[in-house]
Structure 1
């Protein structure tokens, strides 16, 4: 039985501009002659582009003709359509649910959205999640029999306790817990803010609520992958805030609720610069709090390049990369030869070789359905400039693995068909970083945080950050002693 041909990729860093060049070797021209011809044509076009501004200057002195206004009208129409699409996407991003309503997480987390202006003054849509600085937590409930009002600390164990409840991880109690018995009524929570502890009598149980001050251990800045947006990481943010980590996330240009044509990235260097500027803003607002950068897929490549700049590296405790796009190569060398030319001439052109169906990025059918039915996820064919930028940043990183010195944790699925897990292994082997770790998940696909085992992956990331903070703290203590 013949094998079924796999459709082209629809997510990640590669495989979406390749179909134009299928079956090239079977053409009437040889590969070498065709390649030389394309290089020659490319050179002619480049010279033409260099001479083009002079022609425009000479024609500018002449009075405009009625026909010359058509390109400007067309350009204005395209800009207006792009702005309308951005406003539509921003409204969708604002309306996106940022917390789950299945439990009491909203009472333990503060969240918000904001606009950050990037290096090119483009408006970038941002999200944040933080553990509530001061909040009420349930300590325990017990039967009121033989109950006497008293002042107690957390170390006291009441023999009548029937339903012990653990405090939040690393939660700190201010002073002592004061039990205030109330006769058979529900206490008004509005007046609870100034109390150290509140006791509520409900039916036959006394419920003790504790006023807790939360210490933020660190802040993670999330840089999402190609074609998606930061709102997809709300569940991951929940796990981080439950362990007392703050979370910021930024939509790239042309993604989510940010400015730009949907799915179009004029330069990944701009995304790198935006990431550095966003991190500087966060550090200025939270001085002294450790920061981590997280990047998925192409976002991982952005994070790795950003961390290669000394002024950004010194602001970070480390970086986390999931399925990073580190070795992205076109299926045919011709693509690499013509990509620079096409990205200059027709940067926004979409190759029609890709569609919504393709190689799965998760083994969870519900996660796939949620991703490709999300209106903020770009599912169209890849734009020429975007594809060229991915090839360019991947090539740069591949040449500079040995210069990586920042602490990092790279995670990759061994069954990933979108980005190369062996490239992650090469990064780990060749990087000069003293503090580095790698974890390869057997049989996992590309979107690790949307696999059925996403909670396990998230916990591995949290454990690594805690280990990194502990190591950093120990080093600081040793240095202070010397």
Structure 2
């Protein structure tokens, strides 16, 4: 597995910890955008697949996540998080001038990546969304209707059919295991609306991967958002029985193969 290097960057809300997984002679740059409550260190296997495919891979712990500064899981404005991801993208572009850039966003990272593509048209060569929080996601509205947010952490069993994935998640000290926070839920609602109204991404090739047993971000709600976001070059792969983290699922080899085949099609030869 490729050894990652850590970098400290200045973000909109303080220090950010970023990771770079180098490739010997990369042919493209891949930017990984992680989900809610987790951190970029959980993407070592994804990064290894991509570096073997020819990518120089970069990712960052969002503010309030992982090793980055900020109150845990507090995101008051996702536009700031998109700006932080752009800071990492610019660093990657400076290190690899002229290479095409693809972005891979999971769950909340799919929302961030979608907004990034809207804010930076022409900046990406391809976009991959995994179980993305786009479209009609009812959880924030349901929780905000309550007087008090329940202290109910994400169930590790909802992530993957592989019990080792849930066990590692539950034991990970960099993962948030507490309740969601009201300002973050409010920011989710605003940004879902912003992305819905932000227009499509034109001819940007888009790959959507999703488990059909995803109970955290149900597939039908995401479909609404993905189809609205796509400008026409949409590839979808729905995996029967798979849960929320398809990159950590029991059929992840199939998922990785679908991602690399997609990139082979859309990247410049």
Matches of 2:180 and 2:226, distance apart in 1: 30
Contact 1:119 1:277 survives alignment (8 Å): no
* SS of corresponding position for 2:6: strand
* SS of corresponding position for 2:32: strand
TM-aligned CA deviation for residue 357 of structure 1: 4.4
1:328 aligns with one of 137, 144, 160:
137
TM-aligned CA deviation for residue 358 of structure 1: 7.0
> How many corresponding residue pairs?
267
Map of 1:130 onto structure 2: 22
Map of 1:294 onto structure 2: 104
Asked if 1:362 is matched to 2:163, the reply is no
TM-aligned CA deviation for residue 266 of structure 1: 2.5
TM-aligned CA deviation for residue 307 of structure 1: 0.7
5+ residue gaps, structure 2, are none
1:417 aligns with one of 195, 215, 240:
215
Map of 2:4 onto structure 1: 111
Aligned 1:84-103 pairs, distance under 5 A: 99=1
TM-score (norm 2): 0.91
Aligned-residue RMSD, C-alpha: 2.3
* SS of corresponding position for 1:295: strand
Between structure 1 and structure 2, the one with the greater Rg is: 1
TM-aligned CA deviation for residue 119 of structure 1: 3.0
* SS of corresponding position for 2:57: strand
TM-aligned CA deviation for residue 398 of structure 1: 2.9
Contact 1:320 1:410 survives alignment (8 Å): yes
Pair 1:442–1:260, CA change in 2 (3 A): same
1:404 aligns with one of 192, 198, 201:
201
TM-aligned CA deviation for residue 428 of structure 1: 4.5
Matches of 1:403 and 1:375, distance apart in 2: 38
Contact 2:151 2:178 survives alignment (8 Å): no
What does the per-residue CA deviation read over 1:171-215, in whole Å, with 9 as the maximum and x for residues that have no partner?
A: xxxxxxxxxxxxxxxxxxxxxxxxxxxxxxxxxxxxxxxxxxxx3
Map of 2:243 onto structure 1: 445
TM-aligned CA deviation for residue 356 of structure 1: 5.8
TM-score (norm 1): 0.52
Contact 2:140 2:185 survives alignment (8 Å): no
Aligned 1:175-186 pairs, distance under 5 A: none
Map of 2:259 onto structure 1: 461
Map of 1:346 onto structure 2: none
TM-aligned CA deviation for residue 359 of structure 1: 6.0
Aligned 1:338-417 pairs, distance under 5 A: 351-355=149-153, 357=155, 360-400=158-198, 402-405=199-202, 406-417=204-215
* SS of corresponding position for 2:118: coil
Pair 1:356–1:434, CA change in 2 (3 A): closer
Map of 1:252 onto structure 2: 62
* SS of corresponding position for 1:386: helix
What does the per-residue CA deviation read over 1:420-451, in whole Å, with 9 as the maximum and x for residues that have no partner?
A: 31233334444452422111111111011111
Matches of 1:438 and 1:457, distance apart in 2: 11
Asked if 1:277 is matched to 2:87, the reply is yes
TM-aligned CA deviation for residue 462 of structure 1: 1.4
Matches of 2:54 and 2:82, distance apart in 1: 27
Contact 2:81 2:112 survives alignment (8 Å): yes
* SS of corresponding position for 2:216: coil
